Each structure stands twice: as structure tokens, then as C-alpha cells.
Amino acid sequence: MTTVADLIQRDGLIVVCGSGGVGKTSVSAALGVLAATQTEKRVLVLTVDPAKRLANALGLSEFGNAEVQITRDLFKTSKTKLRGSLAAAMIDTKASWDELITRHAPDEATRNSVLQNSLYKNLTERFVHSHDYIAIERLYQAHSCGAYDLIIVDTPPSRNALTVLDAPKRMQDFFSSRLLKLLTANSQWQLLALAAKPFYEIADRLLGKGLLRDVAEFFTLFRTMETGFVERAKKVEALLHDPKTSFAVVTTLEDAPLSEAEFLSAALKERKFSTNLAIANRVIPKELQGDALVQQVQDLNKLLQDTALVSELTDLLSKEEFSAGIDDQSLSKLVTQTLATIENYAQVTTQISVMQSALLDRVAGFADNFVAVPMLETDIADINGLVALGENLNIG
């Protein structure tokens, strides 16, 4: 059974996935903070989410492709201190692609031609799947540079996380695809000759001048990098399947995100990844759960049977400084009303917590282990919020 404490003690990778808005980015950052304060590890949190709020919580004005070290200063107001080190970065697709091309291009001329190619620019800026591959590639790069013991990866919402994990395989498939072979079997010039005159003119008009030439050139150039890319994609795939890579699925206790989490966990299993830990986030805190409240109401009712105590309390409360001269009758009405409100509240939260415990059973069903993290009183806006979330993850 994997606990959060186990996860942060291991060197390697933690991939955090889940449906939209359930708290993946917050949990990733909180795990990073927890690992860097509880262990001496060099920790990196890699996010695909440009959430500015999170960057601010880590004391940065914004994230970029380059890894930034979080300074000890950030923990000034916190009760915990950094024992290891903590860095954070956001994956910038365009910058990462350019780095990748620069690394794999056989010579400078090819590199420049690819970087200038309009199809390449379009692909790297807009083509969604290129983001997936690059996220994984960036992760591999951070992992293989040896600067970190533990890397926590925040993935895009739910099903997109799967396309990220499938990206290395797709990259290999792409290079062995018939389409690419067809496009590049003849030289680009033959292809252009094929598309001669009328078709070429129409294509230019429809697609924009020179696009067809750019397409042919791009794929021809891209093939020169096949070996590098395929080898790399295989290594990246092996890294994801390494036993040191753990998967955490985050969900809230509502039907839709939970169904997504179940789907995700099954899809991970199909790919031979196992969900090591499920995290139920934003659960009703224990002290607000129905049972605890019902008990409090009962205790209060019992106290109110004690007439001596009530008259003492009334005396005390009717003093000027407490109640601005409120009379006994109004006071007892106020107490009754307050008790009734708490009682109603207790009934509602009892119902919610019964529902929650059924949903928690579902969470327990799709992972080796699970933790329940309460809804914190405030949004997670600074380092103290991340520390609090981390502590709750650890004891959950």
C-alpha cells in the first residue's frame, strides 16, 4: 500500500492526473513542498498548467520553460523549512520543440530550415499532440540531466493526460507510418512536380502560398531526424514504465470527476501503469461532518437541561458588554434558534457525509491506496496554503 510518505521518499517520478479542476496542480505543488521540506531531496515540480496563482504561491511572478529554484526566503512565514531543494517550471511547448530540433538536427542548415519552416511553426504552436510529446520529452530531459531526485509532473485534465502518456508510442508510429513514407519516398522536388501546375496553384490559393512546398520540405527534413527521435521516444516510454514512476489520480467526491478518475485508472491499467495512490480532494472536514455536529448539538442540549448553569450563563450574557442589555426571553429564543440551525445543518452534513463515504468506497476501489484531503478554509494562494495541503495529504 503506497502512502504519500512512501511516494515522497522514493526517487523517481510522480505523475499526477485527474479530471479538470479537481486540484491536480495544487496537489503536485503541495507534494513538491512536502518532499522538499520532509526530505533532503532535490525536487522539481513540472507543470503543464500556466496557473498564475500557483506560480505566485511559489513566490514566482510567473512560470517559464526554465527551471527556477524556490528560495528559502519563501518559507520565512512558514512553520516548516526547506531541507532539500525545490524547483518549478512550466512546460513551454514552443521553446522545448526548438531545443529538441536543435539537438536532433544533423547539421546547422537542416536545423535552420526546420525552425524557419512555416508548417513547423504552426505545428509547434497549435498542433495539440505536439504538446503531448514535448511534455514527456521535457520530463525526460529534466530526469536525465541528473539534477533532481524526485520530479512531480502535473498533467492536463483527464483524457488529455492519456494522450501525453501515449505520445512516445505515437511518435514511433508516426515515423514508421505509411503516410510519412509516402510523403518522403520521392524527394520533395518530385512531390512538388507531382503537384504541378493546376493543382499546385489551387493548393496555393486554398492553403496559402508555399504551404505545400513547406509540407514536403518539413517531412523530408523531419525524416533526417528519425533515428534520434525514435530512440528518444523509446527511452521516454521506458522511463514511464520504470517501477520508480508512480501515478497519483486526484478526484473530488462528485459523480462526474469520480467517473473520470475511474476511467483514467482503468486506462492506465490497460497501458500497464498502476494507480499507486488515489487522492480524494476537497472532502468535508471531519469536524464539520454530520456525526460530529450531531454530537455537539446533543451535548449542548444536555448542558441546557442544567438550569443552574443556564441561569449562570444568562446572567453572564445579559451583562452589558456581551449583549447590550438583551433580556432573558430574547436570549433564550436566540439560543433555541441557534440550536435549531445547528441541528438542521447537522442533518444536511450527515446526509452529505453518508453520500461521501459511499463515494470514498469507489475511490478506494480504483487504486492500491487512497487518502482523503479536506477542503481547506481558504483557496491555496501562498506557501502556507501549499504546506497545509501537503500536511493533509501526508496524514490523510
Ligand X SMILES: Nc1ncnc2c1ncn2[C@@H]1O[C@H](COP(=O)(O)OP(=O)(O)OP(=O)(O)O)[C@@H](O)[C@H]1O
Q: Are 235 and 339 within 8 A, CB to CB?
A: no
Nearest approach, Cβ of 150 to ligand X (angstroms)? 19
Nearest approach, Cβ of 389 to ligand X (angstroms)? 6
23 part of the interface to ligand X, by CB under 6 A: yes
Task: Compute the half-sphere exposure of residue 225: CA atoms within 13 Å on the CB side of its CA.
Answer: 22
281 part of the interface to ligand X, by CB under 6 A: yes
17 part of the interface to ligand X, by CB under 6 A: no
Stretch that binds ligand X, among 61-69, 240-248, 317-325, 372-380 (CB under 6 A): 372-380
49 part of the interface to Mg ion, by CB under 5 A: yes
Report which residue type is found at 249: V
Task: Compute the half-sphere exposure of residue 350: CA atoms within 13 Å on the CB side of its CA.
Answer: 13
| Rounded alpha-carbon distances, angstroms, from residue 77 to 40, 84, 167 | 20, 18, 41
Residues 6+ apart with CB under 8 A from 299: none
| Window 48-107: residues binding ligand X (CB under 6 A) | 49, 51
Q: Interface mask (CB under 6 A) for ligand X, residues 373-392, using x and -?
A: x-xx--xx--------x---
Q: Which is nearer to ligand X, 114 or 277 (CB)?
A: 277
Task: Give the residue, chosen from 2, 19, 25, 392, that forms a contact with Mg ion under the rule CB under 5 A.
Answer: 25
Positive or negative: CA dihedral 13, 19, 25, 29: negative
**Rounded distance, CA 138 to CA 144, Å?**
10
Nearest approach, Cβ of 18 to ligand X (angstroms)? 6
Nearest approach, Cβ of 396 to ligand X (angstroms)? 10
Angle in degrees, 0-180, between the axes of helices 118-126 and 211-223, rounded to the nearest 10:
80
Nearest approach, Cβ of 171 to ligand X (angstroms)? 24
53 part of the interface to Mg ion, by CB under 5 A: no
Plot region of 201 (φ>0 → left; ψ -120 to 50 → alpha; else → beta): alpha
Binding site for ligand X (CB under 6 A): 18, 20-26, 49, 51, 157, 281-282, 373, 375-376, 379-380, 389
Binding site for Mg ion (CB under 5 A): 24-25, 49
